[in-house]
Chain A
């Protein structure tokens, strides 16, 4: 584990990725301590102030401190997408290893359904589910987790099929072990690398998806400070108060880039070639 970390940060892109990710997670965790103001506190005497000594990033159209809002703005997005990434990796990883291990008819027919799910524009499907179940984490976490899990399933199943032909799996089969110990003791430890990288990569795409949903008005609900929502709310005033739009954009982009770089660097450190994998 320590070794992996060292190889990952040995390249500048890995170090930058890890740095950005850790920084953002720390800021999100410590937000109430860092933020000088209450992120939802409105102040009619401080509307659309340019950045100054009291408000480092200025104030927005309701007189709220942009710095405090940006610091809080990742909490919902990070926790929602992290939960969804864990769900996706767990179910997609498990199902992928299972189908790779059993093979045959079960695998073949299941993959048809998986392909059908993959050939659905899932953002539209998510929008459909939101219009039924309402916006908010309770709808978004399971839906993101499910759809990204399908993509992880496909990748992991491909890798599991190769692992299933290795000698140690054949040996376990010859010993007469049944499918569960083979999956948990022989196959899973040899596929955990791929799961880690896939999970991290999907996490960054989920952040992109969640913030887009927030921007469209289906993620966070006002007055929650959330980057995507902040951009949507302050966008019409961009010519008078660009700072209220710039900083949430900056924070969001650096986080997604950071996780993406980190996942890429971990993948390279583990010797996995993700260059040909498709970002769905």
Chain B
């Protein structure tokens, strides 16, 4: 058991190291460097020299990578080119806003999706299942910016229930934030619910046709008890990994949704940084998102390990 946990931790550490290396290498591979790409046609003379000195580009790539990693571990992400500030001063407000948005969406979506998935799965191919699956297909295929635009048109412009764009003073309280995040949360949750529901449905159907459910039926166990005691607990384990992968989608979806609602989160900051060609800031935000992603997957893996005795045996 301990060795399995250690192996999962090891893989998470490997993934983060790998991702950070790929990101660093991608920037290294570009023609020119961080400073020339930022300054464009002004990349000459004292401005270029100052930038190179500030970013420490005169050192070798390996030294800079080591510096970047050890800095990041200590919460020092270097210096933003465009905003002329240390990056860690820029990101924490944005980080907590994004976490609130994503966290609420996930907390609302997961239980709801699990419930709908079970309801659809035990009524396979009945009207309820068909309509839920159809709705899930629509929620998954229609782009987030389309859903968001439609919601803005109906609820912010026609009905005027919620603001169309987020207006937040820095350090706003949660209650001030609430009306601003209703629509973004709805958009994010809709896609989350669709993905998780489909997976829960599939694994409930799988469990309902298994031998142990057949056995329980032959014993004369009432159907609702079969569902509650036998099918659902077993169906939850494969669903766990998908929930984790979907949370990962959430991190990407949040970039688009934040942009639509002009929400002051990490996603909008990343887009601004790309417009400004502020590579150190882009790298930092991409790294933070990746670490969250790997962390969520690790938690799901460990939870599955705790819930499923079969996975604790060797061979997994």
Contact = CB atoms under 8 A, between A and B. Distances in A.
Interface residues of A, number: 46
A131 B27 CA distance: 9
Contact of A257 (B137, B256, B294): B137
Interface string B1-45: 000000000010011001100110011011000000100000000
SS class of chain A's interface: helix, strand, loop or mixed? helix
Interface stretch (B102-110, B225-233, B276-284, B308-316): B276-284
Nearest to B18: A116
Given A116-B14, A132-B30, A280-B245, A257 B145 contact: no
Interface stretch (A39-47, A49-57, A155-163, A235-243): A235-243
A232 B29 CA distance: 31
Interface string A81-123: 0000000000000000000000000000000110110011111
Contacts of B29: 132
A121 B14 contact: no
Contacts of B37: 132
A238 B156 CA distance: 11
A260 B137 contact: yes
Contacts of B19: 116, 119-120
Interface string B202-232: 1101100000000000000000000000000
Contacts, number: 140
Interface string A203-220: 010001001100111100
B251 A113 contact: no
Given A215-B256, A249-B149, A249-B150, A121 B26 contact: no
Interface in A193-252: 204, 208, 211-212, 215-218, 228, 231-232, 235, 238-239, 242, 245, 249, 252
A253 B202 CA distance: 25
Given A216-B271, A217-B271, A253-B143, 12 more contacts: A116-B14, A116-B19, A120-B22, A121-B290, A124-B285, A128-B286, A131-B274, A204-B141, A215-B256, A216-B259, A249-B146, A278-B199
20 contacts: A116-B14, A116-B15, A121-B289, A121-B290, A122-B252, A124-B255, A125-B286, A127-B255, A128-B27, A128-B286, A131-B279, A133-B30, A204-B141, A211-B145, A215-B145, A218-B274, A245-B153, A253-B146, A256-B142, A279-B195
